Structure 1
Amino acid sequence: MRERAKYIPMRLSIKERKLLRLLEAALSVSEYVDRVDVISFKSRSGRMVSMIKEVCSILCGLLVSSDYKEGQRLIENKNYADNEEFFQKIFEVGRRHKIMNPEKMRSTYGKLIYMLQDAESPEVSEVLGFKCVKEIRTVFSFLQYAGAVELLNDPLVQLATSEIRSENRSREQVNADIRHKEKAVEHLARKYRSEKLEEEDIRCCLYSIGDNNAFLRFTRDPCEKMLEWLRSKFNPELPEDDFSLAIIGGRNGARLTHSHSRQYRFVEQSLMLWSAILKDMFKLWHLSEQDLLSSLHPYKLRDTGQGLNRVQHSPRIGSEMERILHSVQSKLQSKWEGSSVVHLGDHNVPNALMFIDKYTQVERILNPVVLCIEKLPQLYASDKGIRKYLDSSFGSVEHLSKMILSDFFRSAFDGSGADNFFDAGSCIDGRLTSAWNWCSRIERKPYFPAFLLTGFTGFDGKFE
Structure 2
Amino acid sequence: MDAFSLDNILSENHENVEPEVINGAPVGGWDEEEVSKPVEEGTCVECEDQPAEVRCETCADVFCEVCYASQHRKGSRKLHVVKPLSSKKPQPVAAAQSTESEDAMDADDDEDDEEWERVVTEPANTDVVLSAQPAQGTPVGEWFVERAKFIPLRLNLAERKALRLLEAALSVSEYTDKIDTIGFGLSKAKRIVQQIRELCAIMSGLMVSADYKRGQELFSDRDFQANAEFYQTLFELGRRHKIMNPDKMRSTYGKLIYLLQDAQTPEVKNLLNFSCVRPIRTVEALLAEHDALDLLRDQLITQATGEIYSEGRGRRDIQKDIKGKERAIETLATRYARNGLSRDDVRLCIYSISDNHSFLRTNRDPCDRMIAYLKQYFHPTDGGKDAAKTSLAIRSGRNGARLSHDHAKQYAYVVQSLTLWREILHDMFHLWSLAESDLLSESVPYRLRDTGQGLNRVQAAPKTSRMMHQILNKAQRSVGQWIGSSVIHMGDHNVPNSLLFIDKYTQIYRILLPICTTLSKIEELAGKPAIRSYIDDEFGSPDNLRREILGDFFRHGFDGSGADNFFDAGSCIDGRLTSAWNWCSAIEKKRYFHVFLLTGFTGFDGDW
Q: What TM-score results when the alignment is normalised by the length of structure 2?
A: 0.74
Aligned residue among 439, 462, 468 for 1:315: 462
SS of residue paired to 1:33? helix
Confirm or deny: 8 A CA contact 2:265 2:442 kept in the other structure.
Answer: yes
Q: Which moved more, 1:40-49 or 1:426-435?
A: 40-49
The aligned counterpart of 1:348 is: 494
Aligned residue among 231, 236, 243 for 2:380: 236
The aligned counterpart of 1:295 is: 442
Confirm or deny: 8 A CA contact 1:302 1:311 kept in the other structure.
Answer: yes
Structure 1: state its 5+ residue gaps: none
Q: Distance in 2 between matches of 1:94 and 1:267?
A: 36
Structure ranking higher in helix proportion: 1
SS of residue paired to 1:301? strand
The aligned counterpart of 1:267 is: 414
**Displacement, 1:129?**
2.1
**Mapping of 1:4-403 within 5 angstroms?**
4-40=147-183, 41-42=185-186, 43-64=190-211, 79-237=223-381, 238=383, 240-333=387-480, 335-381=481-527, 383-403=528-548
SS of residue paired to 1:263? helix
The aligned counterpart of 2:97 is: none
SS of residue paired to 2:176? helix
Provide Cα deviations, 1:37-81, integer angstroms capped at 9, x if missing partner.
1112232111111111111012122224xxx57867987867211
Q: Distance in 1 between matches of 2:278 and 2:545?
A: 52
**Displacement, 1:342?**
0.5
Provide Cα deviations, 1:96-140, integer angstroms capped at 9, x if missing partner.
000000000000000000010110011111122221000000000
The aligned counterpart of 1:449 is: 594
SS of residue paired to 1:241? helix
Q: Distance in 2 between matches of 1:164 and 1:329?
A: 33
Confirm or deny: 8 A CA contact 1:60 1:75 kept in the other structure.
Answer: no
Q: Distance in 2 between matches of 1:175 and 1:380?
A: 32
Confirm or deny: 8 A CA contact 2:207 2:214 kept in the other structure.
Answer: no
The CA RMSD measured in Å over matched residues stands at 1.6
Structure 2: state its 5+ residue gaps: 1-143
Point out 4+ residue stretches in structure 1 off by more than 3 angstroms: 68-78, 419-422
SS of residue paired to 1:310? strand
Confirm or deny: 8 A CA contact 2:204 2:215 kept in the other structure.
Answer: no
Aligned residue among 549, 552, 555 for 1:410: 555
Q: Distance in 1 between matches of 2:229 and 2:276?
A: 8
Q: Distance in 1 between matches of 2:536 and 2:288?
A: 60
Count of aligned pairs between the two proteins: 458
Q: Distance in 2 between matches of 1:219 and 1:235?
A: 24
Q: Distance in 1 between matches of 2:564 and 2:160?
A: 41
Q: Distance in 1 between matches of 2:564 and 2:359?
A: 32
CA distance 1:73–1:398, shift in 2 (3 Å)? farther
Q: AA paired with 1:199?
A: R
Percentage of matched positions with identical amino acids: 56
Q: Based on CA coordinates, which of the two structures has the bigger radius of gyration?
A: 2
Confirm or deny: 8 A CA contact 1:117 1:292 kept in the other structure.
Answer: yes
Q: AA paired with 2:199?
A: I
Confirm or deny: 8 A CA contact 1:218 1:363 kept in the other structure.
Answer: yes
Q: Distance in 2 between matches of 1:159 and 1:69?
A: 48
Q: Distance in 2 between matches of 1:307 and 1:244?
A: 40
Confirm or deny: 8 A CA contact 1:102 1:360 kept in the other structure.
Answer: yes
Q: Which moved more, 1:285-294 or 1:226-235?
A: 226-235
Provide Cα deviations, 1:210-237, integer angstroms capped at 9, x if missing partner.
0000000100000000011111111225
Does residue 1:434 correspond to 2:551, yes or no? no
